[in-house]
Amino acid sequence: MIVELVNTGSELMCGRALNTHQQWLCRQLADAGYVVRRQVAVSDEPADIAAAVRESLGQADLVITTGGLGPTSDDRTREVIADLLGLKLRENREVLDQVRNYFEKRNRPMPERVRVEALVPEGAIILPNRHGTAPGLAVPVPPGRFRPGSSPAWLLMLPGPPRELQPMFLESALPLLRRELRPAVERVCRTVHTCGLGESLVQERVEPALSEFVRSGVKIGYCARPGQVDVRLTFAGPGSGDVIARAEQALRAALGGHVFGVDDQSLESVLIDLLAAKGRTLAVAESCTGGCLAHRLTNVPGASRVFVGGFVTYSNELKQRCLGVDAATLETHGAVSEPVALQMAQGARLAANSHYAIAITGIAGPDGGTPDKPVGTVFIAFASPERTIASRKFHPGDRQTFKDVTASDAMNELRRLAMENF
């Protein structure tokens, strides 16, 4: 099965937007057994879109386009493809009602030009849009029309905004593919997330532990991200689910507590679930991470089971006033110091009346570093009813990477401490 992806958008061609669809769709498709062979991006120009789609239809069993379904003058995909396939566009009553309803719910008048979103090529299957107005469209392309062969190809048009495309793909497009275009070989891919070891150390432990699996065809890939390293296991062939399950077991044995989750699990969701299961609550006090830790924890639906609140104490005054940090300690050791981190953690626990607290104080940069405490220096403290501990870490990098890596480090540390009932 040959799968191709066509991303449209002039903002891509002049480098004004990052093509996140490419990664997201390639990943979802690969995990479902439809590995993309070629991805193409072109501008919004009808001639460029038509050329790219025609070429892909000449070789692929499945072609997916993204973008160009909206109401503005540069949204041309629907009409270009209808024209290319010789299909009439007809206004669909049901879609029009949904679009109208979308604006009514928001108490906004429906702009006249949004009406184009209700145009559907004849024979197309409508993929509902739960988070916007333009539906996706799935069109069967008769065999022999663009490429030799005896089965129809499928052309899927998905909308540009990720928050519309992603649920639409998972809820409507993928079930349709599974029904109409079964992949030839069973293929399983599992991504195991680790935290606390560098990429080459992870590889040093994994390779000897998985050598037998590699000989029997399991592929291993590594991906270093800010604050974590992912190990990807892939196997194509009969019984792939079993093979991958056994490989994952061997991998976990080799990496121990550094493994925090798989696939869609995040450090924050794993930590929230763990603390919820233990009936523990958590407060955070952040200086240099500036709310990044609280933000990531509260991205988890239902975080309020565990997360009580956070203090972003950027100024020394606020560290004293909200968290009860001692003026003399700030004076003697500086805001970026172990004694201040310890007091912040204790203060946050008391102020928020929580079981645990995390405190972070450090130097995010780009300015503010000293020879003793260069940019990237950070103290992370943890308080429980019994103890408060702190450690000094060093996470050099740009400001946003520093915030992200430091927040991950703190969450991973508390995950390990909480498992030992710290």
For residues 111-130, which are near a second copy according to CB under 8 A?
111, 113-114
Apex 185 CA angle, 254 and 203, nearest 5: 20
Q: Pick from 91, 171, 242, 398: which binds a second copy (CB under 8 A)?
A: 398
Contacting a second copy within 326-365 (CB under 8 A): 351-353, 364-365
**273 binds a second copy, rule: CB under 8 A:** no
Contacting a second copy within 240-259 (CB under 8 A): none
Burial of 66 (0-12, 13-18, 19+ CB in 10 A): buried
Q: Pick from 88, 145, 219, 278: which binds a second copy (CB under 8 A)?
A: 219
Contacting a second copy within 130-169 (CB under 8 A): 131, 160-161, 163, 167
H helices of 35-161, in order, are: 46-57, 77-85, 93-105
Alpha carbons within 13 angstroms on the beta-carbon side of residue 50 total: 11
**232 binds a second copy, rule: CB under 8 A:** yes
Non-local (6+) Cβ contacts of 86 within 8 A are: none
Residue type, 229: V
Residue 142 CB, nearest approach to a second copy (Å): 26
- Is the CB of residue 368 less than 8 Å from the CB of residue 335? no
Q: CB under 8 A: which stretch of 39-47, 146-154, 252-260, 329-337 binds a second copy?
A: 39-47
Residue 18 CB, nearest approach to a second copy (Å): 5
Q: Pick from 8, 42, 146, 244: which binds a second copy (CB under 8 A)?
A: 42
Burial of 144 (0-12, 13-18, 19+ CB in 10 A): exposed
Is the CB of 332 or the CB of 353 nearer to a second copy?
353
Q: Which residue do the tokens 């998905």 mark?
A: 158
Which among 185, 232, 186 has a CA at the least distance from the CA of 213?
Answer: 232
Residue 403 CB, nearest approach to a second copy (Å): 7
Residue 123 CB, nearest approach to a second copy (Å): 28
Residues touching a second copy: how many (CB under 8 A)? 113
**230 binds a second copy, rule: CB under 8 A:** yes
Q: Pick from 101, 370, 391, 400: which binds a second copy (CB under 8 A)?
A: 400
Which among 66, 85, 421, 372 has a CA at the least distance from the CA of 274?
Answer: 421
Q: Pick from 38, 90, 145, 178: which binds a second copy (CB under 8 A)?
A: 38
Residue 366 CB, nearest approach to a second copy (Å): 5
Residue 30 CB, nearest approach to a second copy (Å): 4
Residue 169 CB, nearest approach to a second copy (Å): 12
**24 binds a second copy, rule: CB under 8 A:** yes
Is the CB of 139 or the CB of 188 nearer to a second copy?
188
Residue 395 CB, nearest approach to a second copy (Å): 10
DSSP assignment of 350-391, as one string? Answer: HHHT-SEEEEEEE--SSS---SSS-TTEEEEEEE-SS-EEEE
**50 binds a second copy, rule: CB under 8 A:** no
Contacting a second copy within 59-118 (CB under 8 A): 70-74, 105-106, 108, 111, 113-114
Q: CB under 8 A: which stretch of 11-19, 139-147, 270-278, 410-418 binds a second copy?
A: 11-19
SS3 219: strand
DSSP assignment of 258-297, as one string? Answer: GEEEETT--HHHHHHHHHHHHT--EEEEESTTTTHHHHHH
Please give the helix or strand (H or E) that residue 127 lies within, else none.
strand 125-127
Task: List 55's β-bridge partners, or say none.
Answer: none
CA-CA distances (angstroms) from residue 249 to 213, 245, 255, 256, 262? 11, 6, 10, 10, 12
Contacting a second copy within 295-324 (CB under 8 A): 295, 297-299, 301-304, 307-315, 317-318, 321-322
Q: Pick from 170, 185, 223, 327: which binds a second copy (CB under 8 A)?
A: 223
Which tokens in the block code for residue 276?
């919820």
